[in-house]
Amino acid sequence: MKDSLIIFDTTLRDGEQSPGASMTRDEKVRIARALERMKVDVIEAGFPAASQGDFEAVQAVADAIKDSTVCGLARALDKDIDRAGEALKGANSSRIHTFIATSPIHMAKKLNMQPDQVIEYAVKAVKRARQYTDNVEFSPEDAGRSEEDFLCRILEAVITAGATTLNIPDTVGYSMPQQFGAMIANLRQRIPNADKAVFSVHCHNDLGLAVANSLSAVMNGARQVECTINGLGERAGNASLEEVVMAIRTRQDFFQCDTRLDTREIVTCSKLVSSITGFPVQPNKAIVGANAFAHESGIHQDGVLKNRETYEIMRAEDVGWTTNRMVLGKHSGRNAFKTRMAELGVQFDSEADLNDAFFRFKQLADKKHEIFDEDLQALISEQSFEAEDEHIKLVALKVCSETGEVPNATVTILVDGKEVTGTATGGGAVDASLKAIESLVQTGATLALYSVNNITTGTDSQGEVTVRLENAGRIVNGSGADTDIVIASAKAYINAVNKLQSPDQRQHPQKGDV
């Protein structure tokens, strides 16, 4: 029998550390449920000590998830570990992940500690975490630039203290695959009690090598990989879950292990994370990009038609794509709509939610001839955005843009139940519309990002707009979708303003970079 490779997903923790990717508690629970459906082994839900909001999010995920282990991150400090233990009380299966830096530059410049002190803190942290759970993970932060002799010392000590998983992070994405794999092999060979713990890796993508380094580690005995959906994460991101999992699943002739994941859930989960964070998936992204299973070259098309395996090493269906899409339109009934949404992994909490979604679907179908899966995903995402603390709503928008004239916009919005109207001019229809909204809400925020993506093909495609607002160190994303790109832009801006002004939204905290 082949070994089982544990998949540790940190989308909700490290993925959220991408600037602008902060998630609400309810959004974290939605993603966690999607990960659970995919049969992810461990879900790192957040860093409970970072903020009250993060604590409540980890607590909510711990209460909601039944089949996956829920993990909380904690520095090697008593207060962090106690906070994590408290947040994870409701979990069926819990893990505390504690860490401390071990590279010379981190110990000297960041911690101002001697190596022996670092070991002392690490051992104490593991022992304290064991008071809450017997499933304890330890990470030597910046292991990729740490001295191997010191890593052996500290890892041997934490295993003795009760750590059951040793996670070796390439925190700054500095390692090369051959080098990183060799380090894993050396640690497993040199540490006397190495057989008492599972070796794990957590690789960053600063040089574009996160997946390669992770796979090299697996080849050298690592049996847990920490990764994120769509490769989301700090700076250039983490190892991409879908790439790691499918590389191992596709090349079973090469790897001596496999995962238990239901890979058919990958695309749905990817789209959900993309819509919640506002980070679009590039079309040529492996596995989950729109072009991942597309063929334009005549030679390729001919080969695939004769035998799929001439140009495809995986089946699109195995990762959640469908070759035959159910096309919904304005004549489709409520049952067909509900059935397709269920196939996409969307469950409605109540009949009212279903009725609201179906009403929106019918509105869209009157504007757009064919409704594709991507349209349905956007529709549900927009519904969830509006369900949040929405004290500002778009009522009406009128834009005038003609050659030789300065574009102008008149917008009417509802602010806490009261209609207000504003006008503005701008460099274009979108610019004028957003300035008109800003003249009414007066957030003073800077527009840090404006991104437009077509959800499907065709001139009647919905446009999905993402905006990022920044104000006094707070960063929020707003999303909106419509067949009219100007209206989609206004919706996205208002969605971001609602988040910016919501009392539940907190400044994006500085979290542990493991």
Binding residue numbers for Mn(2+): 14, 202, 204, 238
Instruction: Give the phi and the psi of residue 70 in degrees, each rounded to 5.
Output: -105, 130
- Residue 313 is which amino acid? I
For 397, residues 6+ apart whose C-beta sits below 8 A from its C-beta are 409, 410, 411, 412, 433, 486, 487, 490
C-alpha 51: how far from chain center: 19
**HSE of 298, CA atoms in CB hemisphere, 13 A:** 0
CA distances from 288 to 12, 269, 364, 510 (A): 19, 10, 25, 29
Coil, strand or helix at 514: coil
Query: In residues, how long is the chain?
Result: 514
Nearest to 48 by CA among 13, 10, 93: 13
Annotated binding site: 14, 202, 204, 238
Q: Give the chain's count of helices (H) and strands (E).
A: 16, 16
Closest to 437 measured CA to CA, from 483, 406, 399: 399
Distance CA 47, CA 40 (A): 19
Question: How do 463-471 and 446-454 pair as beta strands?
Answer: antiparallel
Whole-Å CA distances, 423 to 398, 408, 469: 9, 7, 21
* β-strand partners of 225: 7, 201
DSSP calls for 193-209: TGGGSEEEEEEB-TTS-
At CA 337, angle to CA 332 and CA 341, rounded to 5? 155
Q: What tokens appear for 330 in the block?
A: 């304005």
Query: Amino acid letter at 435?
Result: K
Rounded Cα distance, 476 and 205, in Å: 24
Q: Are strands 257-258 and 224-227 parallel, antiparallel or unpaired?
A: unpaired
- Angle between helical axes of 373-387 and 25-37 (0-180°, round to 10): 150
Beta-ladder partners of 172 = none
Edge-to-edge strands, sheet with 474-482:
446-454, 463-471, 474-482
- At 458, is the secondary structure helix, strand, or coil? coil
